[in-house]
Chains A and B, each alone.
Chain A
Amino acid sequence: MAKLTVLSEEETSIEILVTDANRAFVNSLRRTMIADVPKFAIDQMRIELGVFKDEATGEMYESNYALSDEQLAHRFAMLPIPTFHNDFFFQDECPDCKDMVEDQRGCPSCQIIYTISAAGEEGGRYIMASELNVIGDRRLDIPEAYGSIPLTKLYEGQVLHAYFYAIMGRGRDHSKYSPVSGVTFQARQHGIMNVKTRSKHLFDLNLNITAKDFDKDGKLTDIDKVKLLKNDLNHVGDGTDLQADFNDAITLQDVEGEFIFKFQTDGSMSARTCFVQACKELAGRFSVLSDDFAEAL
């Protein structure tokens, strides 16, 4: 059974040490996060077209702007929509909508509706993601950190009135549904001092790592320090003047069965939620497989 140790964690990024695992297992987690963790994203957009009169000022506006409707729809679709897995359903699994025809699906349990009503001004005005209003629960507003995403720019006489319909989906259908970016893992490494005398060439450069950081067996195991050592070794590695003198006096060695896994989320859910959800997805898939095996054997 794999063991997990959180090395560092922020709201939207996490670094985890996975032990007692193999590369295939960690890669399955990675791929599940990219393609299978459910997430909300805007799937449909309805733009009100025509000429509008502002009753208060008597000004006329037209739904006419530099970006095409398709470009605009794509920009809105890329926004991170807060996702609460326990409160919402896929449309084809929604208890209220699953039996309806596809076009008529959409209820507060499986769809989020946003609106925007923005007018331009002389000299142009950026329309930001924070101007989207959610119909219903305020916690579904675009997260504050992403409110300054420019979506379009409107000039005098231009207006954008639109409705947006967000539904739950998976990254394998469209990347807008993928909640993660930069999902990577690499084998944990130890620094090994092979030749003490030649290692001095590195320590004499007064970089980050010193001889004292290695234990009495000549090993460096601390994860943060190994990262620094990796950078330091660039100063004595291939293509440097010291390459011949140093001659691999210190090397990095992969630790069997240990991997450092890290990723960022797009802000639609916390990194921890995403990881837990990926584990649930994987567990669900394997339980179906084991049931099938049990039935067949």
Chain B
Amino acid sequence: MSTSHKTPTTSLVPLTLCWLGLCILTLLSLGLGQWFHAAAWLPLLVAVIVWFKGTMVARYFIESDLTHPFIRRVLKGFIAFAPLWLILTGFYGGQFAQWGSLFLKH
């Protein structure tokens, strides 16, 4: 059996750095939305930022690296879910709409 020696931290430094990173990324994504609102690649970049911010909260605030595998998987799955949909609808929105209308017709 492998035994890890990771323990929950009592330091506030990683939390502070994470918080600063989240604030910077929030302002950055807002700026990107205003400067490049017509760019085709914007959904991809926004999706990456959303995934990164969610991962930071999970890793540093919830300490997901130390949690039970089920909790880790739930967090990973949910954090990846919306960015994947953002990319799919951003690049293949037309096809999704067509499939949706097919279901509605039947």
Check if A and B associate. Answer: no
